[in-house]
């Protein structure tokens, strides 16, 4: 999605030059949150300040939200049907492949030395032993500062937006966020708890949307028991069908728990920290990237997510009911992702295969 945003902003419309866009990508990869959503907001910020960032952020995420609402409603009404059950079983196998592939890609790009592997391994062990993943991230933050070497310098983000107007817009945004959470606290404590949890998950999702998966799993399934692991896997799979980031799974969680209102609250909550971090960080990003301590800490956090994703992939693997169809779909999906096939096509192919394999086996008389 970042590549598509670059084509739109740099090549087709010439809104930004290549250097300015790459600075924004570096920023969005450094701060927590959904990278593609934040990159879209960054483009808007460069063009029209905070208002432009909000327009791009909402415009980029709205189609995924609408798709996920439709899919969540269909999921609740049809998941007991035999065809839907077969489909969801196949998609769960694909989710295992998706998470395993994410862990592999995180590891390949992040783990370069023994220290990196040590932090990733320690994170996986601590998470497997039941430690809260946020505490694991904090521990990795500290280990990164102590053990890792600082990477080389990064490009400086180019400031172009009026700081005065941006500061006023950011202040207004923060007031609205506080007012919104206060209203939820008074009107509906369950909705407030849902919003607070998802906002906290987004605040610690360093490295992009996939980093939110271990946090969601721990909080939604392990601690609060709001849904089963299989249901969360279904939500992750449906999230990959939509034209948006994986954290749109939050919409699914909200819909399952509290219907359409819960979906709206969950979606706003999971994306609000990402948006605020972008518009607040742009003017100061060059100072952060020049800090050796900051770069070491971020390196430690990214290492921890390799361990966290690997642990979730193993847990999903253990929980899944494996048969010939599931194993075949998981292996094919993993191989396709390793060959850089777009994840949307992998999921859509899995949908078709999940529906066709039982029919083919029935025709051939295979048990």
> How would DSSP label each residue in 35-94?
HHHHHHHHHHHHHHHHHHHHHHHHHHHHHHHHHHHHHHHHHHHHTTSHHHHHHHHHHHHH
Residue 354 maps to a domain: no
For 109-138, letters b (16+ CB in 10 Å) and e give ebbeeebbbebbebbbebbeeeeebeebbe
Domain housing 295: 2-322
Q: What is the pTM of this model?
A: 0.79
Instruction: For residue 266, tell me if it sits in a domain.
Output: yes
CA–CA gap between residue 11 and residue 316 (Å, rounded): 41
Q: Residue 363: is its pLDDT beyond 80? A: no
End-to-end CA distance of the chain: 42
The pLDDT value recorded for residue 367 is 55
pLDDT per position as a tens digit, 92-146:
899 899 889 988 988 888 888 899 999 999 999 998 888 888 888 889 989 988 8
180 lies in a domain?
yes
pLDDT above 70 (res 213): yes
pLDDT tens-digit profile of 262-306? 999 999 999 999 999 998 888 777 677 777 887 888 888 888 888
At 15 the pLDDT is 92
* Distances 362 to 68, 81, 148, 339 between C-alpha atoms, Å: 32, 18, 56, 31
Judged by phi (left if over 0) then psi (alpha if -120 to 50, else beta), residue 183 lies in alpha
pLDDT digits (tens, 9 = 90+) for 37-67: 999 999 999 998 889 999 999 999 999 999 9
Query: What is the per-residue pLDDT for 286?
Result: 65
Predicted pLDDT at 323: 84
Cα–Cα distance between 41 and 28 in angstroms, integer? 10
221-274, pLDDT tens digit by residue?
999 999 999 899 999 888 877 877 888 999 999 999 999 999 999 999 999 999
Using pLDDT thresholds of 50, 70 and 90, give the confidence band for residue 366: low
Report helix, strand or coil for 177: helix
Place of tokens 């009026």: 162
| Mean of pLDDT values over 184-213 | 90
Domains contained in the chain, number: 1
71, part of any domain = yes
Residue 66: inside a domain: yes
Average pLDDT over residues 69-80: 88
366 within domain boundaries = no
pLDDT at 156: 47
Percent of the chain with pLDDT over 70: 93
24-45 mean pLDDT: 86
Give the model's confidence band at 84: pLDDT under 50 very low, under 70 low, under 90 confident, else very high: confident
């Amino acid at each position: 999605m970042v590549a598509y945003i670059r084509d739109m902003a740099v090549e087709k419309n010439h809104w930004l030059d290549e250097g300015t866009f790459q600075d924004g990508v570096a920023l969005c990869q450094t701060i927590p949150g959904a990278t593609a959503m934040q990159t879209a907001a960054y483009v808007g910020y460069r063009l029209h300040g905070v208002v432009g960032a909000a327009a791009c952020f909402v415009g980029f995420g709205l189609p995924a939200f609408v798709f996920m609402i439709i899919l969540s409603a269909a999921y609740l009404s049809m998941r007991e049907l035999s065809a839907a059950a077969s489909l969801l079983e196949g998609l769960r196998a694909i989710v295992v492949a998706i998470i395993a592939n994410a862990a592999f890609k995180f590891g390949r790009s992040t783990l370069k030395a023994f220290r990196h592997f040590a932090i990733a391994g320690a994170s996986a062990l601590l998470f497997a032993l039941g430690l809260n993943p946020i505490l694991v991230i904090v521990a990795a933050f500290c280990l990164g500062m102590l053990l890792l070497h600082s990477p080389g310098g990064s490009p400086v983000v180019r400031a172009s937006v009026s700081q005065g107007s941006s500061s006023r817009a950011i202040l207004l945004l923060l007031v609205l966020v506080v007012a919104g959470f206060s209203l939820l606290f008074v009107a509906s404590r369950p909705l407030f708890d849902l919003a607070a949890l998802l906002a906290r998950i987004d605040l610690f999702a360093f490295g992009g949307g996939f980093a939110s998966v271990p946090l969601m799993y721990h909080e939604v399934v392990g601690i609060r028991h709001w849904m089963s692991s299989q249901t969360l896997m279904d939500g992750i799979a449906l999230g990959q069908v939509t034209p948006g980031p994986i954290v749109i799974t939050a919409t699914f969680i909200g819909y399952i728990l509290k219907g359409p209102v819960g979906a709206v609250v969950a979606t706003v909550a999971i994306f609000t920290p990402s948006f605020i971090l972008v518009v607040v960080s742009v003017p100061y990003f060059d100072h952060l990237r020049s800090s050796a301590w900051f770069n070491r800490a971020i390196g430690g956090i990214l290492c921890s997510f390799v361990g966290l994703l690997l642990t979730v992939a193993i847990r999903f693997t253990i929980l899944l009911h494996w048969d010939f169809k599931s194993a075949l779909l998981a292996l094919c999906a993993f191989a396709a992702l390793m060959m850089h096939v777009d994840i949307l096509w992998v999921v859509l192919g899995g949908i078709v295969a999940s529906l066709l394999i039982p029919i083919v086996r029935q025709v051939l008389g295979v048990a």
